[in-house]
Amino acid sequence: MKVVIVGAGLGGLACAIACRREGIDVEILERSPEIHEFGAGIQVPPNGSRIMREFGLLPQLLEKGSQVQDVHFRRYKDGRLLRTMPCGDDITEEYGTPWVIIHRVDYHRILHDEAMRLGVVLRLGAEVTDISTDETTALLADGTIVVADVIIGADGQMSSVRAAVLEIPVSPVPTGDMAYRAVFSREQLEGLNDDSINELCQKVAVTSWLGPEKHTVFYPVRGGQEFNLVLLRPDNLSSGARKEQGDIDEMRASYADWDPTLQKIISCVPSVYKWKLTHLPELKSWTKGSVAILGDACHPTLPYQAQGAAMAVEDGAVIGKLLGSLQAHILKPRISGVKPSQSTISSAQKLTAEVLALYEKNRKERTTRNVQAAVKNRQLFHMQDGILQKIRDFVLSYAGVTRKTDWTWVLSSRQSQTYGWDVLEDCGKLFEYWKLSIE
C-alpha cells in the first residue's frame, strides 16, 4: 500500500509516522519549497501527548517543552486571580500522559525528524492542483501525476483535497474573532523590572485573562527562555483577508483598560500580525473512495479549547492504525504470493474506501464535540460584566481539570471525555467489529 499525504503540517506528519509504523509506504506532497513551520507557542494536552507516547516521542516532547503545572484564570480589569487549577503530576495520574506547552516549531521538528527517520518521502515544492478520486491520483502544478492507493488531505482550511472529496468548493467563513500572536524573550520581560511580571515568569503555567469580548493567553516555551502571548478579540480585518500586518498602537489600545501587568507584557511586542479566525460548516463527508481529509481541512476549531492540533494528530494516528490493520489482517493474506487480479485490486480498493469511512465514523462525533466546546468556551471567556459573569467566576473558583481538584465535577467530567479517551484502542475495536462483518 502507498499513501500520499498532501501537506507536511502537524496532522500530515503524524499521519505519515503512523502509516510508516505500520509498514506502509508514504510520500508527502508539500507545496512550500522548504520545510518550515510558523507560529508561536502551542499546547499539547494529554490526548495529544498520548499519541506522542504511542509514537515513542514523548521524551523528545518533554525535552523541548515543559509540563504545565497550573492553569490560572484572572479578571481582565485588575488581574485578580479567579482560580488556580493544579495540573502537573495530577494530570498524568488521571489521564496517563502530561499536559505540555512547547514552541510550535519545536513540536513540528520532532514530528518531521521522526517521519524522515522512518523513511517517509518528502517532496517539496509540490503544489497539488487537482485530485482524482476515481483514479486516486494527484496532479501537481508542474504537470506531474502522482499515483497512490490512498490520498490524505492534510492541507489545512484552504484544502484543495476537500473540494475533490465534496465535489464542490467549501470555503472557511469568519467566526467574528481574530488573534494577535507574539513570542518574546525572558530578558525582555525581566527588563521591565516589575515584580508581578517576574512572578509570572517563574511559573510553568498557562495564564488567561478573561474579559468582555476578549481574552488573552500567556505561557512559557523553550524552558522559560521565551514566552508566548495570544490576544483574542473581535475581528476587524478587511473582508477576504486571512492575515494582515497589525497596528501596534491599535493592539495596545484594545487592552488599554485591562490589568496593568498585562499591559506591560503587551508593551514588549514590537510588531504584530493579526489572523482572522475562521471555521467550516459541518461537512457532509470527509471521504470519497480512497481519498480522505483530516485536521483543519475538515474540522477547524476556535483556539479556545487547545484541541485543534491535538485533534489533527489524533486523526493522523487513527488513519495509520486503520490502514495498517487493513493491510496486515485483510489485504496481505488475500494476495500473499500471487499476482493480484483486477477483481482482487477492485476488492482491495473497495475495502480501503470502507476503512476510510470507518475513520470518519470514529472521528466525526469526537471532533464535532470539541469544535462545539470551543464555541461554548468563547461564550464563557468573553462574557460582559454582570450577573452572568459573576456566576461564571463563582463556579470557576471551584472548578478543576482533574477530579481531585474539581469541586464542581462539571469541568473534569467534560475534560475526561477529551483528555482520557484512548482513540487508538477505540478505532481498534471498531476495526475488529467491521472485520467480522466482512468475513
Residue 93's identity, in one-letter code, is E
Closest by alpha carbon to 312, among 17, 91, 86? 17
Closest by alpha carbon to 288, among 116, 167, 108, 199? 167
What whole-number percentage of the chain has pLDDT above 70?
A: 96
DSSP letter, residue 31? -
Residue 8: pLDDT over 90: yes
* pLDDT attached to residue 9: 95
CA 419 – CA 48 distance, rounded (Å): 8
Mean pLDDT of 355-369: 94
* pLDDT attached to residue 416: 87
- Give the DSSP H/E element, type plus range, for residue 266: helix 260-266
CB within 8 Å of 35: residues ≥ 6 apart: 8, 112, 122, 124
For cell 468582555, name the residue.
212
Quick count: other Cβ atoms within 10 Å of Cβ 370?
Answer: 22
Per the prediction, the chain carries an average pLDDT of 92
CATH of domain 2-38+105-172+282-438: 3.50.50.60
Is there a contact between 157 and 283 (Cβ–Cβ < 8 Å)?
no
Residue 160: pLDDT over 90: yes
Mean pLDDT of 119-129: 96
* pLDDT attached to residue 334: 60
Mean pLDDT of 78-90: 94
Residue 33: pLDDT over 70: yes
Residue 258: pLDDT over 70: yes
* pLDDT attached to residue 411: 83
* pLDDT attached to residue 397: 93
Mean pLDDT of 290-304: 95
CA 434 – CA 439 distance, rounded (Å): 9
* pLDDT attached to residue 34: 85
Residue 205: pLDDT over 80: yes
State phi, psi for 88 to the nearest 5 degrees: 50, -130
Closest by alpha carbon to 58, among 100, 95, 26, 113? 100
Whether the model pTM is above 0.85: yes
Quick count: other Cβ atoms within 10 Å of Cβ 68?
Answer: 25
Q: What is the pLDDT of residues 302-351, one digit of tens each?
A: 999 999 999 999 999 999 999 999 988 777 766 655 666 666 667 888 99
Q: Write the CA distances from 321 to 7, 29, 116, 298, 427, integer angstroms.
A: 19, 21, 19, 19, 8
Residue 179: pLDDT over 80: yes
Longest dimension (CA), the chain: 75
Higher pLDDT, 128 or 238: 128
Grid cell listed for 148 = 497512490
* pLDDT attached to residue 338: 61
Q: Where are the beta strands (DSSP E) in 100-204?
A: 100-103, 121-124, 128-132, 137-140, 145-147, 150-153, 173-185
